[in-house]
Structure formats: C-alpha cells, structure tokens
Amino acid sequence: GDSVTQMEGPVTLSEEAFLTINCTYTATGYPSLFWYVQYPGEGLQLLLKATKADDKGSNKGFEATYRKETTSFHLEKGSVQVSDSAVYFCALSDHSGGGADGLTFGKGTHLIIQP
C-alpha cells in the first residue's frame, strides 16, 4: 500500500536558519504530493502541492520539488521565523484506484523555531 515517511521531530532551529524536512513516499500509481501545516489546536492548512514529476510547489517562502527518481518531496525554506513553528505533514493522493479515497499522511514533523 501507499506510505509516507517523514523525518522524526521535534526539529529545533534558530530564527533565520535554513530548513529542510525530509519526506519520501511509496505509491503504486502516480501520486500528487502535498505539504500541510498544523498550528496548535487547529486543523490542517494546505501549504503547497505538486501534481507531477519535477513540479515545484511553493508558498510563503517554502518550497518542495517532486522527485520521482528518488520518490521524495522535501520541504525547504531559506530563512525560518518564529511564526513558522508548527507541525508539518507530508501527504500523497494516489490516483491509481480512482475516486476520492483520501490522503495518506506521514506522521508529522514538529518544528520549533527559537528567537
């Protein structure tokens, strides 16, 4: 079955540091890939997405490139801020089965940015 693996957290960085959160996936078809962010006590918000190989998703200074050859979708940001502290989820939607059958999520990475 499909699966998503993210780096374990918490990840603690200083403000203005460079961020990378690793994400790799296993899928039977040709998935779309997503990064979601969750702030304390809230639901998930879509951060960025990519629907095919070599696509780059970007939003709010975050970027991730869909790498089919390495089955990866690593999240990066050049200079993090305290307000970026949250839990980040990598997810995929596999179209091979057809229909709206939900996302497969990684376990989440808790990011802590210190001033």
Partner 1 sequence: DGGITQSPKYLFRKEGQNVTLSCEQNLNHDAMYWYRQDPGQGLRLIYYSQIVNDFQKGDIAEGYSVSREKKESFPLTVTSAQKNPTAFYLCASSIISQQPQHFGDGTRLSIL
Regarding 115 and contact with partner 1 (CB under 8 A), the answer is no
Q: In the set 66, 80, 108, 111, which binds partner 1 (CB under 8 A)?
A: 108
Q: Which stretch binds partner 1 (CB under 8 A): 11-19, 34-42, 69-77, 78-86?
A: 34-42
Nearest distance in Å: CB 61, partner 1: 19
Q: Which residues pair with 74 in a beta bridge?
A: none
Regarding 85 and contact with partner 1 (CB under 8 A), the answer is no
Regarding 51 and contact with partner 1 (CB under 8 A), the answer is yes
Regarding 44 and contact with partner 1 (CB under 8 A), the answer is yes
Compare residues 33 and 113 and give the one whose CB is closer to partner 1.
33
